[in-house]
Structure 1
Amino acid sequence: MMDKLEKVLMPMAEAIGKNKYLVSIRDGFLVSTPLLIVGSIFLLLANFPIPQWIEFVGTVQIGSQSLEALLSKQTDATFTIMALFATMGIGYSFAKQMKVNGIFGAAVSIMAWFILMPYSVTGTIREMFDATGATMEVVEGAKATVGGINLGWLGSKGIFIGMICAIVSVHIYAWVEKKGWVIKMPAGVPPTVVQSFAALIPAGVVMTFFFVINCIFAACGTDAFTFIFTFLQTPLLGLGDTLGAMIIAYIFLHLFWFFGVNGGSVVGAVFNPILQTLALDNLNLFREVGAQGYTVANGAHIISQQFQDLFATFGGCGSTLSLLIAMLFFCKSKRITELGKLSLVPGIFGINEPIVFGLPIVLNPAMLIPFVLVPTMNIVLTYGAMAIGLFPPCNGINIPWTTPIFISGFLSTNWVGALFQLLLLVLGVIIYMPFIKAMDKQYLADEKAALEVQKEEDDIDLDDLSFEDL
């Protein structure tokens, strides 16, 4: 069975790991990660789940604005324009993959994206002014169309078309450059000037191509953003926002890890863009309705990036924090207990390579079942608890995956979610216990045998000594 799995999974992991499109998308999203984490700190300050604090930041005025509004500004500068960062990052990363200038790759990606973006906001005047960030007293129900950019396109709604624009624009740019259709400057011209003029024709071809695409959509009475969002992004998000998709993704993720391949990188290259988009939708809803109105019934997604990072696993892949607790409290062999002591602190912060490769879990059939079963159990039980309203879905705030258990649950949901994390941790210990006890029994036998051999070697029999051996 292991041989068959290896023959299927290893080529798949290699293909995904070497796919320049998936690698570029994965790496491109990392550009926004530090900004989103810092922005999350300010968002937490504005919406920390204590009623007295929320009332305080809402009433304190600094000039003409409340402290809450000023704290939320950092969110607008990060989460609200996340698609802009993603498009730029993917363009830069893909340009590196295509062996062309990364800065110009990022630039043409953003240019192409804005060429296709609609520069008008249509709807009721209330919706229109909310979308553009303005405030105005209006008659409810009145409709209008004005020039401007809907901030939704800069956020979650514009991510998928941003990915497409980055890949296509850089592809065209690289193709033109490699054809040699560039302006060449004489010797002695500064390198930055040479690069600028060399990018002129490739950038012009990219602009022309996207101009034609925009004209085609305009002739059809729509725009590329609306089309991609309706016919590609919405169905993909609907598919990704299901319990089945999450379970399948995590089974594959842990099977990859079992064979020593970083499953998070392989599966994340495909699945994380969907999870991050769902998380951004949740964040926008949370900011709009507040903690009291943030429920599944109001449109919050259960599946999201934070659902994966904070509830599917504790202590790293396989939810090995439960395994660590079982190792420390219920095992007696030196090999397991010493490894548990060394791995505990990293495990609390989600780093479990010492366990994965030191126990080991990699290529260890005895640990495969709990390694896959515990995260699957976490996913199913958490999904069910959120679906019935025991505690709300994750609010979309970008809490680092290294945040310890209980703290992460409290900040992403509420105190019930934090307690639920502890419950899942205990259930994981129960599942891991018989498997690690079986390994512990074997290791104890090995240590006893090794000790007996050592004792025999240390015992000296004077009758065996002979001067002829000297």
Structure 2
Amino acid sequence: MSKINNILENKIMPVAGRIAAQRHLQALRDGLILTMPLIIVGSLFLILGFIPIPGYADFMAGIFGEAWLSKLLYPVGATFDIMALIAAFGIAYRLAEKYGLDALSAGAISVAAFLLATPYQVSFLPEGAKEAILVGGAIPTALMGSKGLFVAMLVAMLSTEIYRFVVQRNIVIRMPDGVPPAVSKSFIALIPGFFVIAIIWILRLIIEQTSFASLHNIVGELLGKPLGVLGGSLIGSLVAVLLIQLLWSCGLHGASIVGGVMGPIWLSSMDTNRIAFQDGQNLPNIFTQQFFDIFIYVGGSGATLALVIAMLFWAKSQQMKQLGRLAIGPGLFNINEPITFGMPIVMNPLMIVPFILAPLVMVITTYIAMSTGLVAKPAGIAVPWTMPPIIGGYLAAGGKVSGAILQIVNFVICFGIYYPFFKMWDRQKLAEERGVSSDKNLDGNGFTA
């Protein structure tokens, strides 16, 4: 056991700590969080539009007219379809904060740069019309949503780095001390903003001369598809979950660190499912944000709700009984820090084994259940990760009971994995409470019998 601790402390933890402190990953994570309230609000309207009650659609049509669904889904488009735009602002804002720059100006410049990098739709052919109608540079909403998310991320970081480069070299216009701070900051951002816009403009002109035609096509081909395949595959998802659990085992927030990279992929998959769900089509993706938040991490990272229940009803030691009573409330809302740091699981070689094993097993079982059609795939509804079990599974599956049943099955699997390790740990704590020496009453594995 000491060898495992040494590996965790001396090999994994230093590397993981440096990754966790990387400012670009932190900005990516924190900037994407800015989109979540809007997506959740949009999901509420999406749920209202597709409540699985027989006769619900006819009832609503009788009261509000035949176009009730399209009107009800207006807020869905207004929230989901600006995901990339909000991310462009949020990521640049958070990255500028970490550099000590004017975050508001950096965010605004990033949005302008993202729009500049996006090809406008200059004409369209209305249904039934013979000729295309010219319009004044209409912004394609598809590229403002999940399809433009990768470009938004790259442009946000590039624009902020250019902004930082210019400001740190003092190539700015500084106003006298008597000028209000808001006015002074806007003038400081003038020259950096010009450099950002000019560079993105030149970049767009160059790309337009290639076969790709736009930055969105380049990112989609060279970055989006490979990452999408990685994030949308069973192997890639198992690797992501393994990294999350290993980081948590070292005391680092694995979900935030890995989510900074995988989050955009899973959000894009979620939005693709959302569009298919609205149109009544088959859902194309299994691995979305809700796949992990709702079906894998029942009780939080590590799926520790089963462990909390074991503590609550089967613990013999007072420490485990008390911890179970303290952790059950947060655990029902998928908050497991009391268990992770209170048991502890962090740097605990015995409990790390089920902590890593349980989520990996559930990724496999959940994938099998959804790929075979036994359970409905995530419907693209942004169910908050704090949603209690059973309710969360029902909503995430688009109002299908199979989603709730799958959560129950996953809970039982987790309980079976955690229970033997928990009993060994509980016996050790009970022996300590009874004053049994650490070199007495030990079983063959080095734990108290």
Match for residue 395 of structure 1?
379
Letter in 1 for 2:241: Y
Letter in 1 for 2:56: W
With 41-50 and 385-394 compared, the bigger mean Cα shift is at: 41-50
Q: CA deviation at 1:171?
A: 1.2
**Contact in 2 for aligned 1:181/1:201 (Cα 8 Å):** yes
Q: CA deviation at 1:196?
A: 1.8
Q: Does 1:169 align with 2:159?
A: yes
CA pair 440-104 structure 1, distance change in 2 beyond 3 A: same
Root-mean-square deviation over aligned CA pairs? 2.2
Match for residue 439 of structure 1?
425
Distance 1:61 1:262 in 2: 47
CA pair 106-59 structure 1, distance change in 2 beyond 3 A: farther
1:251 to 242, 246, 267: 242
Match for residue 276 of structure 1?
267
| Higher Rg of the two aligned structures | 1
Cα deviations across residues 62-105 of structure 1 (Å, max 9, x unaligned)?
A: 6xx73322321111111111111111101111111222111110
Q: Does 1:416 align with 2:417?
A: no
With 330-339 and 21-30 compared, the bigger mean Cα shift is at: 330-339
Identity of paired residues, percent? 38
**Contact in 2 for aligned 1:122/1:143 (Cα 8 Å):** no
CA pair 448-246 structure 1, distance change in 2 beyond 3 A: same
Distance 2:250 2:127 in 1: 61
Distance 2:58 2:99 in 1: 52
Q: Does 1:82 align with 2:103?
A: no
Q: Does 1:308 align with 2:309?
A: no
Distance 2:86 2:45 in 1: 19
Cα deviations across residues 141-199 of structure 1 (Å, max 9, x unaligned)?
A: x8968653322101111000111111111111221122222223234222222222222
Match for residue 196 of structure 2?
206
Q: CA deviation at 1:59?
A: 4.6
With 13-22 and 395-404 compared, the bigger mean Cα shift is at: 13-22
**Contact in 2 for aligned 1:57/1:66 (Cα 8 Å):** no
Match for residue 430 of structure 1?
416
Match for residue 282 of structure 2?
294
1:36 to 36, 39, 50: 39
TM-score, normalised on structure 2? Answer: 0.90
Letter in 2 for 1:269: G
Matches within 5 A, 1:134-173: 137-138=127-128, 147=135, 148-173=138-163
Distance 1:171 1:386 in 2: 42
Match for residue 99 of structure 2?
98
Match for residue 49 of structure 2?
46
Letter in 1 for 2:251: G
Q: CA deviation at 1:58?
A: 4.3
Match for residue 449 of structure 1?
435
Unaligned runs of 5+ in 1: 126-135, 451-470
State the secondary structure of the residue aligned to 2:435: helix
Unaligned runs of 5+ in 2: 437-449
Distance 2:393 2:91 in 1: 31
Distance 2:163 2:54 in 1: 53
Letter in 2 for 1:196: S
Distance 1:229 1:153 in 2: 11
Letter in 2 for 1:149: I
Match for residue 445 of structure 2?
none
1:264 to 240, 255, 259: 255
With 103-112 and 217-226 compared, the bigger mean Cα shift is at: 217-226
Cα deviations across residues 290-341 of structure 1 (Å, max 9, x unaligned)?
A: xxx333xxxx211111101001111112111111122223332222122212
Distance 1:338 1:26 in 2: 34
**Contact in 1 for aligned 2:29/2:257 (Cα 8 Å):** no
Match for residue 218 of structure 1?
208
State the secondary structure of the residue aligned to 1:318: coil
Q: CA deviation at 1:37?
A: 1.5
Match for residue 443 of structure 2?
none
**Contact in 1 for aligned 2:316/2:426 (Cα 8 Å):** yes
Q: CA deviation at 1:237?
A: 0.8
Distance 1:199 1:40 in 2: 36
- What is the total number of aligned residue pairs between the two structures? 429
CA pair 122-376 structure 1, distance change in 2 beyond 3 A: farther
1:383 to 367, 374, 391: 367
CA pair 121-390 structure 1, distance change in 2 beyond 3 A: farther
Distance 1:448 1:179 in 2: 66
Letter in 2 for 1:420: L
Distance 1:359 1:261 in 2: 16
Distance 2:329 2:427 in 1: 25
